[in-house]
C-alpha cells in the first residue's frame, strides 16, 4: 500500500497552528528545504500516523488532524483522523467512495460488518483509535491494510547515531524475540538475528551494498568491542558490530568506526533485515547522506533509489545537502517552503511546468533550490 496524498494540521485556529496541505507523493520522494522549514516535521507526521494506526503508540498527543489517501493495489483508501487532548473527535475510513467507518466525538459511530453485510453501531474508548480497537479479520477486515502499512513503516534518522552508542548482551541460545524492528538503535541484535534467520545471504547482501558505496568489507560480525576496557565481574560483556576492511590488517569495532560509515552500515543492515523478513511498506530517511563524503553520499542515494525501483516499497527521504540534491532527479523532488502556519510543497504533481522549464536551463539540481526558481515559476502562473 502506498500513500498518495496527506493533509495535516495541528492546533488549528490557534497561535501554534501548523500544517501541510495536500502533499502528493510518488514511489520515490526527496523532501528538500532549508533548515527549520519543516522537512523533519513532515516525516515525523507520516511516521507518527503509522505508529498510531498500528497500535505501536497510544494516543497521547494534544492536537492533530489527518486526511490521508492511500493506493492499495488500485483500491483507494481514505483515512481521516482528528484528535484533541488525547481524545478522538473524528475518525473515518472510506474505501472506493464507500464509508466503512464513521466515528465522532464521544467514541460513538457506525462501522460496516462484513458477516452481517450492514452498518452497525459501536462505541470505542475516546482515547483509542477504532481502526486499532475494532480490528477483526472476520467482521472488519478492511482495517488490516492500514494496520500492515503502519506496522511495516520504517523511520530512520540518518543524522543520529543509528545505534553506534548502543551495545547488546546476546546469548547464542536466544531467539531475539524481543527485537523491535522499528527501534533503529537495535542494530547489533538485528544483525545477529538476521544472520541466524537468513544465514550467509543476509551478510552477503550487506557486504554487496557496502561495497557499492565504497566500503570493501571481508567480514561483518558481532563481538566484544576491542577498543573498550571492561571491569572484570559477573556481568556479561556486551557485544557490538565488528568489521574487517579489505585494506586493513585488524578488525574495526563500532566504537572506532567513523560516524558516516557506521550510519551507512546500520541503515543497510536494517533495510536488508526488513526486506528479507517482512517487506516494509514505506521507508522514511531523515537527513539522508549526513556525515558521508560526496562520493559515498551519492552512491548511497543511487543504491536506495534502485532498491525502491525494484520493489513495492515507498521511499521518502529528506535533505538540505547539495550533493544529495544533485544526485536525485527533479522528478522525485518535493521542495518545502515555510509560510506562516503552513509548509507549502512544490513538486511534479502541483508545479510540473515549473520543473520542466528549469530542466531546459541546463543548470544543476541544486540551483533549482538555491535560486528559488520553484517559487518564481509557481508565482508567475
Instruction: Indicate yes or no: pTM above 0.85.
Output: yes
CA atoms within 13 A on the CB side of 15: 0
Nearest residue to 252 via CA among 278, 282, 283, 215: 215
3-state secondary structure at position 309 = helix
Nearest C-alpha neighbor of 319 from the set 372, 369, 358, 282: 369
What integer best gives the mean pLDDT of the chain?
A: 93
Q: Can you give the pLDDT at residue 375? A: 87
Helix (H) or strand (E) holding 379: helix 373-380
- Per residue in 274-324, pLDDT (tens digit) is 989 877 889 999 999 999 999 999 999 999 999 999 888 999 999 999 889
**128-146 average pLDDT score:** 96
Q: Does position 230 have pLDDT exceeding 80, yes or no?
A: no
Using pLDDT thresholds of 50, 70 and 90, give the confidence band for residue 380. Answer: very low
Q: Where are the domains of the chain?
A: 163-279
What pLDDT does 233 receive? 67
User: How do 18-24 and 2-10 pair as beta strands?
Assistant: antiparallel
User: What is the C-alpha to C-alpha distance for residues 153 and 283, in angstroms, rounded to an integer?
Assistant: 6
Q: Which residue has the cell 511534479?
A: 348
Amino acid at each position: 500500500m502506498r500513500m498518495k496524498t496527506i493533509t495535516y494540521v495541528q492546533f488549528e485556529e490557534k497561535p501554534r497552528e501548523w500544517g501541510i496541505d495536500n502533499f502528493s507523493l510518488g514511489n520515490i520522494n526527496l523532501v528538500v528545504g532549508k533548515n527549520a522549514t519543516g522537512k523533519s516535521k513532515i516525516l515525523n507526521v507520516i511516521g507518527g500516523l503509522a505508529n498510531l494506526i498500528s497500535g505501536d503508540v497510544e494516543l497521547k498527543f494534544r492536537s492533530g488532524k489527518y486526511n490521508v489517501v492511500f493506493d492499495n493495489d488500485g483500491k483507494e483508501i481514505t483515512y481521516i483522523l482528528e484528535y484533541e487532548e488525547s481524545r478522538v473527535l473524528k475518525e473515518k475510513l472510506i474505501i472506493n467512495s464507500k464509508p466503512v467507518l464513521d466515528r465522532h466525538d464521544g467514541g460513538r459511530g457506525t462501522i460496516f460488518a462484513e458477516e452481517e453485510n450492514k452498518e452497525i453501531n459501536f462505541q470505542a474508548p475516546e482515547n483509542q483509535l477504532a481502526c486499532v480497537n475494532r480490528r477483526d479479520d472476520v467482521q472488519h477486515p478492511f482495517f488490516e491494510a492500514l494496520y500492515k502499512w503502519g506496522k511495516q513503516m520504517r523511520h530512520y534518522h540518518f543524522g543520529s547515531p543509528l545505534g553506534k552508542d548502543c551495545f547488546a548482551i546476546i546469548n547464542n541460545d536466544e531467539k531475539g524475540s524481543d527485537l523491535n524492528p522499528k527501534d533503529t538503535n537495535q542494530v547489533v541484535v538485528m544483525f545477529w538475528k538476521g544472520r541466524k534467520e537468513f544465514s550467509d545471504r543476509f551478510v552477503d547482501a550487506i557486504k554487496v551494498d557496502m561495497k557499492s558505496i565504497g566500503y570493501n568489507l571481508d567480514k561483518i560480525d558481532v563481538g566484544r568491542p576491542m577498543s573498550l576496557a571492561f571491569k572484570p565481574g559477573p556481568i556479561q560483556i556486551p557485544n557490538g558490530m565488528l568489521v574487517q576492511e579489505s585494506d586493513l590488517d585488524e578488525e574495526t569495532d563500532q566504537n572506532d568506526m567513523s560516524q558516516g560509515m557506521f550510519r551507512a552500515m546500520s541503515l543497510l543492515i536494517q533495510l536488508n533485515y526488513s526486506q528479507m523478513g517482512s517487506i516494509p511498506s514505506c521507508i522514511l530517511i531523515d537527513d539522508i547522506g549526513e556525515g558521508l563524503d560526496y562520493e559515498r553520499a551519492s552512491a548511497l542515494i543511487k543504491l536506495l533509489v534502485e532498491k525502491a525501483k525494484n520493489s513495492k516499497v515507498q521511499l521518502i527521504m529528506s535533505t538540505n545537502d547539495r550533493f544529495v540534491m544533485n544526485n536525485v532527479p527533479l522528478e522525485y523532488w518535493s521542495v518545502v517552503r515555510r509560510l506562516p502556519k503552513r509548509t507549502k510543497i512544490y513538486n511534479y504533481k502541483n508545479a510540473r511546468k515549473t520543473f520542466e522549464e528549469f530542466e531546459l536551463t541546463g543548470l544543476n539540481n541544486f540551483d533549482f533550490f538555491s535560486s528559488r526558481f520553484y517559487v518564481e515559476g509557481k508565482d508567475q502562473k
